[in-house]
Amino acid sequence: MRIGELAERAGTTTRALRYYESRGLLPARRDAQGHRSYDERDLRLLTQIRTLRDFGFELEETRPFVECLRAGHPEGDSCPASLGVYRRKLDQLDALIGELRAVREQVGAQLVRAEKAREALAADAGVPGGPEPRCELGGQQR
């Protein structure tokens, strides 16, 4: 199949395919007329790359999976190098989750502090709900 058909079947662009070719992830075979030529194996490589990219893997992180498929393995993640990439990605995700939890705790604490301050203002003013806070930036009432 030609590059346009492969791009359409893989749900990507011909530009992306040329880029993958330049990075050595997609083979650069040519037919007798000099046109790029692809087969079902290439579609499988692209499917693997796109799936991993959708999961947040960097393009270079897909290389061990592609090489595993090219070596004839039934799945791109059945090789030790691919498993190593999975492990590193899980470590990165765990670190990000930890960072997000810390930020969530800080935002939650700020919300509790802000709600208590608003309640204290309302109690001081003697008005249910209290006075509307002033916008510090624009000097306007909200």
| CATH, domain range 3-125 | 1.10.1660.10
Give the tens place of pLDDT for each residue, 58-92: 999 999 999 999 999 999 999 999 999 999 999 99
Q: Where are the domains of the chain?
A: 3-125
Q: Is 115 helix (H, G, I), strand (E, B) or coil?
A: helix
Mean pLDDT (whole number) for 121-142:
62
Give the tens place of pLDDT for each residue, 15-35: 999 999 999 999 989 999 999
Buried b (16+ CB within 10 A) or exposed e, 22-59: eeebbeeeeeeeeebbbeeebeebbebbeebeeeebee
pLDDT in the model for residue 58: 96
pTM, two decimal places? 0.73
pLDDT in the model for residue 124: 77
pLDDT in the model for residue 81: 97
